[in-house]
Amino acid sequence: MLLTFRGAQIWAAPELEDPGDGVLTPAGRDTFARSLLELRDSALALDTIDVYICAATDELTLVESDLPVISTPRFLRETAGAQLLFV
């Protein structure tokens, strides 16, 4: 899994009640936060899923993460032939 820019910001957010763009209803915010927390916890708990932060995101934004950093071209080379899941 490769996290880039806004996705990395949301992933790393300690408070997930509002994705920051103000387009979700209050009920939608709760559902979004709950779903993202479950996705994040599940992905990090599985040995078969590697989660990386995009090198450009790491360099160009203020997102702080303990995740390993990888460039998008390298990520694409290393995962060539893998099934793509876009979240």
pLDDT digits (tens, 9 = 90+) for 63-72: 778 888 899 8
Range of the domain at 17: 2-78
Model confidence, pTM: 0.66
Q: Residue 74 — pLDDT band, cuts 50, 70, 90? A: very high
pLDDT digits (tens, 9 = 90+) for 7-46: 787 777 666 655 555 666 777 777 877 888 888 888 889 8
Tokens of 8: 């990395």
Q: Which residues, at least 6 apart from 70, have a Cβ–Cβ distance to it below 8 Å?
A: 2, 52, 53, 54, 55, 78
**Is 84 within a domain?**
no
**Is 35 within a domain?**
yes
pLDDT at 1 (0 to 100): 81
Whether 38 contacts 16, CB under 8 Å: no
> How many structural domains is the chain composed of?
1
**Is 58 within a domain?**
yes
CA distance 25 to 18: 9
**Is 73 within a domain?**
yes
**Is 83 within a domain?**
no
